[in-house]
Structure 1
Amino acid sequence: MHEDDEASLFAQEVAGIQQLQTQEVYLGKKGPQVDFDARKQAASIAQEADRNHLSQDYVEKVEPNDVLEFKRSGMQDGVFKRLRQGKYGIEARLDLHRHTVAQAREQVYQFAEDCVRHDIRVAIIVHGKGDRTPDPNDQAMIKSYINKWLRDLDSVMAFHSAQRHHGGLGAVYVLFKKSDKARLENWEKQQKR
């Protein structure tokens, strides 16, 4: 179809259309007044319901055979060394095999909350090495996010890749902060000496 044919076809279609005489525009039913305070309250409730601040955005990739390690400043070297060597008793375990990143994000956040709530100091998270994924760009995705998320959790004092008998490079030991209750009990125990 040529340009002239299109123009004449359009002219035929719009022939007989008249301009509206009214200046009024109908936008639909006029509803009740918007209660912005209620909306603000609903938004804050929704935000409170999802307190999970762990991001699924960009993550710095780690390789399947990389060692993961992190400790907060002020942490004693001896404590970190014992964690790294797997010398602390493991009180809780989270296995993330066959999880999507979104599922892992929820599980890690909830696991950390539960560990702190129940005064668990040392746990292990099994994330896998991620070296069986056919696409090299997708390898070690969960491991990469674990490396990021554990640093972003204030309750995590330190973490380190596990010893071979605990999963090696496919798992991490995690040391959580003492709860306020546990700190008080420890302080009281020290005072009685």
Structure 2
Amino acid sequence: MQPDDDLSLFQAQMRGVKPISHDRADTGKPKRDRARIDTLRQAATQRSETHKVDGLSDQFVIDVGAEDELYWAANGVQDGQMRKLKAGQIAFEGGLDLHGMSVEKARDTLWEFLAEATRLEIRCVRVTHGKAARTDGKRPLIKSHVNTWLRQHPQVLGFTSCLPRHGGTGALYVILKRTMLDGRDE
């Protein structure tokens, strides 16, 4: 066969064929339902707002009473340190008052406050949560949430209700981790 024969054979086979005007294949996929996609995106955004990235979850809030004394120590925290904290023998270097705040505002404010205290190498702070009874007869909202959040915070070593002169069962002494220059955390 000669090259001219190949060309004439090819042209004979292609007689009547129309060239394709576009270079995209029809995959048969249905077109996107923009309204549905927007609804799903909005729902996903709303769900992510209820679970905070900061780690302070509201999923299991420990309900506490207005006059309940609060006490918690992380694993490894010495009993002697916690006794000193409870006796008010560790001076607090900063304070935060959460009275009148919404739960969301209180969580954000507490997170920022603890981050700042950690940055400044503060050892002990006082968090005033109040103990107001709710109108629906349930236990104090902010106090219960603070009790739960502090147990989750990575910088909190322990906390206990304050002495009466510092707020009693309406406030907490909170002892924080420090990254002291010599590497010790007394």
Alignment TM-score, normalising by the size of structure 2 = 0.69
Q: Which residue of 2 aligns with 1:119?
A: 121
Alpha-carbon distance, 1:130 to partner: 2.1
Alpha-carbon distance, 1:148 to partner: 0.6
Superposed CA offset, 1:108-136 (max 9, x none) = 111111111110010000000122x2211
Sequence identity (%) = 33
Q: Which residue of 1 aligns with 2:137?
A: 136
Q: Which residue of 2 aligns with 1:63?
A: 65
Conservation of the 8 A alpha-carbon contact between 1:72 and 1:157: yes
Matched letter for residue 160 of structure 1: T
Alpha-carbon distance, 1:171 to partner: 0.2
Alpha-carbon distance, 1:90 to partner: 1.1
Q: Which residue of 1 aligns with 2:182?
A: 184
Q: Which residue of 2 aligns with 1:107?
A: 109
Query: Structure 1 residues 87, 74: CA separation in 2 closer, same or farther (over 3 Å shift)?
Result: same
Q: Which residue of 1 aligns with 2:148?
A: 148
Alpha-carbon distance, 1:186 to partner: 5.4
SS of match in other structure, 1:63:
coil
Alpha-carbon distance, 1:169 to partner: 0.3
Matches within 5 A, 1:16-165: 27=31, 51-131=53-133, 133-137=134-138, 139-165=139-165
Alpha-carbon distance, 1:185 to partner: 6.3
- Structure 2 unaligned segments of length 5 or more: list them: 1-27, 33-47
SS of match in other structure, 1:58:
coil
- Structure 1 unaligned segments of length 5 or more: list them: 1-23, 29-45, 188-193
- For 2:153 and 2:29, how far apart are their aligned partners in 1? 53
SS of match in other structure, 2:182:
helix
- For 1:60 and 1:158, how far apart are their aligned partners in 2? 16
SS of match in other structure, 1:57:
coil
Conservation of the 8 A alpha-carbon contact between 1:56 and 1:102: no
**Large movers: runs of 4+ above 3 Å:** 24-28
- For 2:125 and 2:77, how far apart are their aligned partners in 1? 17
Matched letter for residue 121 of structure 1: R
Alignment TM-score, normalising by the size of structure 1 = 0.67
Matched letter for residue 57 of structure 2: S
Give the length in aligned residue pairs. 143
The structure in which a higher percent of residues are helix is 1
